[in-house]
Each structure stands twice: as C-alpha cells, then as structure tokens.
Structure 1
Amino acid sequence: MYPTDSAIVWRNRTLRLLDHVPMPMAVCEYAGRILIVNRAMAAEFGLLTGQLHHRKILEFFTLRGSAAETLPALAEAVRKHRRSQYAVGVSWTAGDGTERQGEMDVALVSDTPEQTPNLLLALRAFADPPAGPPAEEPAPAEPRTEVSATEARILAAAARGATTAQIAREIGLTRDGVNYHLTRLSRRWHVPNRTALVARAYTYGVLAPDAWPPEPA
C-alpha cells in the first residue's frame, strides 16, 4: 500500500468515527479551509458533509465575545507549534433559518511537533433563548359588586351589628346559610372579615350611605 493510499484509509476511518459523534466537529487548516467535517456539523446548516469540504469555516460562523482576544493567542500558538486549546464564542444561522449561538472549542493537532497544526473544532450550541420576554400577568379582574336581595339584607343586618343567629332569624335562613353567604361575599370581594365586608358593601353602593339603621341601597 502506497503512503497516499494509507492516508486515504485513515482519513476514511476518521470520517466514519466522527460521523458517530453527536457533537458537531470539523478539522480545518489554520487558514480555515475545512478538511474533515462530521454529519452533526453539516446538519447544523441543513447540508451534507460534502457541501462543506474545502470551504472556509468562517463562511458559516461569526466570531463574537472574546474572539478578538483569543485569535492572536491562537495564532501565536500555531506559530510556536504549541498543543493548546481555546474556546471561541460563535453565532450562526441554522438550516431552518433560526439564529443560534454557542462556543467553539479549538484544539491544535498535528502528526509531528514540527508540522503546522490543523484546527480541531468542536461546537457546543447554547440552549435556544425564549422567543420573547415573558408575558406580563394580566391585572386581577375587578370583583363583581352586584349582590342578590338576600345578600343585601344580610349585609344590612351585619352592618347593624347583628349576630349570625339574629341574622338567620331575620332573613329566614339557617346559621349555616348565613355563614355561606358571608363567606362567599368575602371571597368575591377579597376581604378577611365581617367588618371589612360591611365597609366594602358601603364602598360598592350596596348599602344606603345615609340610612340608619343600615338598609340596602
């Protein structure tokens, strides 16, 4: 087997291996030309792997964040043949047209220490941001102010200071029936006790403001 044949075999093995890796990955020359790319990386753009070969990686990604500081350090590492790894913020347009952001891990790899390193790229996509700011909760609805005739009579009696038993005898209800109406009104008007309930009844115009003893408006 000739050396070139051996290189082709190893390249094909590398491709098969990378295609089983779920993380988007690629190998580029230092100048950015794509040499090897796996299916996960091509899928980010809705393309086949062959459609990315020999194209510049920066055709697909925009550098952001601290990239301005990272690139000179990366160039220096390549010049000195260091085996270093860097993280670069990137953004890109996915195959479905959505804008995405993530981080690209850039590792320098080569067969020999003297060889100019290639770039091994591994992409980590950030979780998609929410489509927009959370919707504001609607303002609570104003409580319903109208009452039945029985409820109005119960409120008038409560405003006079009548007890539950006295109200029950006056209205012709059981004590439980009176408490049922008072509890339902308290919940509807969001008040904690009978005193506040009577005050709210005057505020809503349920009780006549100038009458004594109290009576329905």
Structure 2
Amino acid sequence: MEGDRREAVVWRNRALMLFDRVSVPVAVCDVYGAVLLANPAMAAECGTPPGRLRGRDVLELFRPQEATQVERIAQALRLRHRSRYQVAVRWEAPGGVRRCGELTADPVSDSVEVTPALLVMLHVRGERESPPPEAAPAPATPVEARILALLASGATTARAARGTGLTVDGVTYHLRRLSARWGAANRTELVARAYALGVLVAGAWPPRAADTSGE
C-alpha cells in the first residue's frame, strides 16, 4: 500500500511538471467553472501568476460569445454526461489586446458516480479588430456658421436667408448638409452641436460665429 502511494505521488508530480510546461493554456476547474489549477500559459493570457487564478470563474476570465452554449453545457454536466464541450469566447489579453478563441472542456473524474472536474484548454483563434476611432465632424464653413448663429438667435429660415444673402432654398441646402455631416436630427441639435464644436462662441449674445481666421 505504501509503495502504491509513493508511485501515485511520483506520477502526480510528473503530471504537474508536464502541466506547467505545456505551451497550450490549460486549467482544471470544478463543475461550476471555478479554477482549481492553471498552468503558466493560461495565466499569461490573463496577465497574472497562476496562483492568482485559483477560485476565479473561468467564464468571467473568458467571456462566452453565446450564453446558450453555457446553459446547454451546464445542463449536460448536471446530468453527468461525459462529452467534450466547446465554447466560443473572447477576452482582453495583457496590453489591452482583444482576442477571441475557444474553450474546450473535458469532464474528468475517477468514476462516473463522482461529480467531475473540468479539464479546460484555451485555443486562441486570433485578435479582434478594434473599432476605428470616430472621426471628428467636419467643421462648418463661414456661411454655415453664420446661418447657425442666426438660428441660435431664433431666426426663421426666411430671416436667415435675408441675413446671409441666400435664398430660402440655399439656407435649407446648407442645413441639410450640416445635418448629414454632424448626424443631427433637427435644427435644435444642429445649434447645440455648433456650440459643442466651438463653431459658435459660448456665452455670447446675440449668438455669433467663432473667429477662425487665424487657423
């Protein structure tokens, strides 16, 4: 019996050595997904030492792309089905790199009667592209800025036309172009955006366009 125990310890130590050296991110979790043991490759994906992962929820570290996948797996584990389960996941690696991949979970235990642990392997598929930064709205032309100042003072389209020497259709044309460039739903929003973008001088009355001649 003592010899069997010593042999078991030897094989356990060999398995742990292999577990630590394998380059694939691997963890052992309980049936609820809490990490019991993680190798350095798995910890590197989370930017932390392996010991810090103990007790963490693997599905919080690597977020499933479809919640229904996790629900089906949980149900199967409760019924003690012993299949290989795969979950598409995404996560943020050290340095803010956003990655996507797949978690593969294999139930493991000494007997079918025992609630299994999960041997979890992470397969990195690639990096997810970050959305391009939103471009700053194109500035207003001097004519457009003058129209906006008149609207901010309460002018109608006809009055704005007289104040700029344009026709009513000309004023409407410029307002439509501005609305399209700035994504504004109405004239009130156009005026608000003009103040936010510095096209109109804040705190000035009557409203007036900012002087951009020095730019």
Q: Could you say which TM-score interval applies, normalised by the shorter chain?
A: 0.5 to 0.7
Shift of 1:8: 6.5
User: 1:40 corresponds to which letter in structure 2?
Assistant: A
Given the superposition, is the C-alpha separation of residues 9 and 34 from structure 1 closer, same or farther in structure 2, using an over 3 Å criterion?
Answer: farther
Aligned to 2:123: 124
8 A contact 1:15–1:37 mirrored in 2 = no
The farther-off stretch of 75-84 and 116-125 is 75-84
Aligned to 2:36: 35
Larger Rg: 1
The farther-off stretch of 10-19 and 55-64 is 10-19
5+ residue gaps, structure 1: 134-217
Query: Considering only aligned residues, what root-mean-square deviation do their CA atoms show, in Å?
Result: 2.6
User: 1:36 corresponds to which letter in structure 2?
Assistant: L
Aligned to 1:93: 92
Given the superposition, is the C-alpha separation of residues 111 and 76 from structure 1 closer, same or farther in structure 2, using an over 3 Å criterion?
Answer: same
User: 2:96 corresponds to which letter in structure 1?
Assistant: G
Given the superposition, is the C-alpha separation of residues 9 and 89 from structure 1 closer, same or farther in structure 2, using an over 3 Å criterion?
Answer: same
Q: TM-score, normalised by structure 2?
A: 0.53
Given the superposition, is the C-alpha separation of residues 72 and 131 from structure 1 closer, same or farther in structure 2, using an over 3 Å criterion?
Answer: closer
Residue 86 of structure 2: SS of its match in structure 1? strand
Q: Does 1:21 align with 2:22?
A: yes
User: 1:118 corresponds to which letter in structure 2?
Assistant: A
Structure having the higher helix fraction is 2
5+ residue gaps, structure 2: 133-215
Matches of 1:33 and 1:131, distance apart in 2: 29
Q: State the Cα deviation string for residues 166-213 of structure 1 (Å, max 9, x = none).
A: xxxxxxxxxxxxxxxxxxxxxxxxxxxxxxxxxxxxxxxxxxxxxxxx
Given the superposition, is the C-alpha separation of residues 73 and 6 from structure 1 closer, same or farther in structure 2, using an over 3 Å criterion?
Answer: farther
Matches of 2:82 and 2:55, distance apart in 1: 24
Shift of 1:129: 4.4
Aligned to 1:71: 70
Matches of 1:4 and 1:97, distance apart in 2: 46
